């Protein structure tokens, strides 16, 4: 195998999960030589605005995809939730490895449970999806925008006027944070995750047969089927970071897939949710889309996209 150049965002989390995936590849081929090329994306440069206000898709991947097209790198290791549902022609997701915890982590001062937060308590999140679901269940709480890496957000929790914050559990796990800092993990019955949350997407050129053969050895079919249902729903609903959209699929013991899709208004007052079970992940994503659109969910997306 030739020397591989891997493209990664410069953040601590991106570099850490890149190194962890490279270690998996080296377990398959110990002779593998890999170099990491750090790439700064638009989403990394804009830190003073809420992501939903920046607009566009692929805020954290476009520059990396350009490096793939230019031959500067051989593959990219993305957090799948950052990857738009449509991959450009000439590129492909060569593998979906094992999925980390897909849920959201709730971290509160003095570990006050979410349901016990006092009136007007401030919960920090940069996600419209998280904010809408919290406001729907706990309308007495306030949502306040927060950005930055894990360390920055934890520091803001301790030193600013936040009473709690919400983070992706996967990031905490991959960075080696102890479960002790987490007040609770919010499963899909409390907070439906982002599309692809906890999963990685390994992107490469579609014609790179040698690399695709290597990636196939660390591919997880079950995870791939689940995120295919989720990403089909994202594509059909024309979802983006400007829309409170969530979706989570899991495999049942009988081999069937259970998928729940969610669309909400940012204020949490409108909620469209539906669950389907079956064997074909694409059909599941399409069916949930069909049901939610019949209920009126697309009107929320249309209105939000027109605002941008």
Write out pLDDT tens, residues 226-279: 999 999 999 999 866 678 999 999 999 999 999 999 999 999 999 999 999 999
**Whether 208 is catalytic:** no
pLDDT the model gives residue 209: 97
User: What pLDDT, on the 0 to 100 scale, is given for residue 45?
Assistant: 54
In this prediction, the residues of the chain whose per-residue pLDDT falls under 70 are 42-59, 239-241, 308
Cβ contact 14:63 at 8 Å = no
For residue 145, what pLDDT is reported? 93
pLDDT of residue 165: 98
Q: What is the pLDDT of residue 57?
A: 55
Given 23, 29, 74, 82, the catalytic residue: 82
């Amino acid at each position: 195998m030739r020397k591989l150049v891997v493209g990664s965002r410069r953040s601590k989390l991106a570099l850490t999960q890149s190194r962890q995936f490279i270690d998996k590849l080296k377990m398959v081929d110990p002779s593998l030589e890999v170099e990491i090329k750090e790439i700064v994306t638009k989403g990394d440069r804009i830190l003073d605005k809420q992501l939903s206000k920046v607009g566009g898709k692929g805020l954290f991947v476009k520059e990396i995809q350009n490096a793939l097209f230019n031959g500067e790198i051989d593959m990219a290791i993305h957090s799948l939730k950052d990857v738009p549902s449509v991959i450009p022609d000439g590129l492909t997701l060569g593998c979906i490895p094992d999925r980390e915890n897909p849920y959201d982590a709730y971290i509160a001062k003095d570990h006050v449970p979410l349901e016990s937060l006092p009136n007007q308590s401030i919960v920090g999140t940069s996600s419209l999806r998280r904010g809408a679901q919290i406001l729907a269940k706990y309308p007495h709480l306030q949502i306040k925008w927060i950005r930055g890496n894990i360390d920055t957000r934890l520091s803001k929790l301790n030193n600013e006027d936040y009473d709690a914050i919400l983070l992706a559990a996967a990031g905490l796990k991959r960075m080696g944070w102890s479960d002790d800092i987490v007040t609770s993990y919010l499963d899909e019955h409390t907070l439906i995750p982002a599309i692809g949350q906890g999963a990685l997407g390994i992107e490469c050129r579609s014609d790179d047969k040698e690399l695709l053969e290597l990636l196939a050895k660390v591919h997880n079919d079950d995870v791939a089927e689940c995120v295919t249902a989720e990403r089909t729903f994202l594509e059909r609903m024309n979802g983006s970071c400007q829309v409170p959209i969530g979706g989570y699929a899991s495999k049942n013991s009988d081999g069937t897939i259970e998928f729940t899709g969610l669309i909400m208004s940012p204020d949490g007052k409108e909620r469209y949710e539906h669950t389907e079970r079956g064997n074909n992940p694409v059909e599941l994503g399409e069916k949930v889309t069909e049901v939610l659109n019949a209920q009126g969910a697309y009107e929320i997306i249309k209105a939000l996209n027109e605002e941008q």
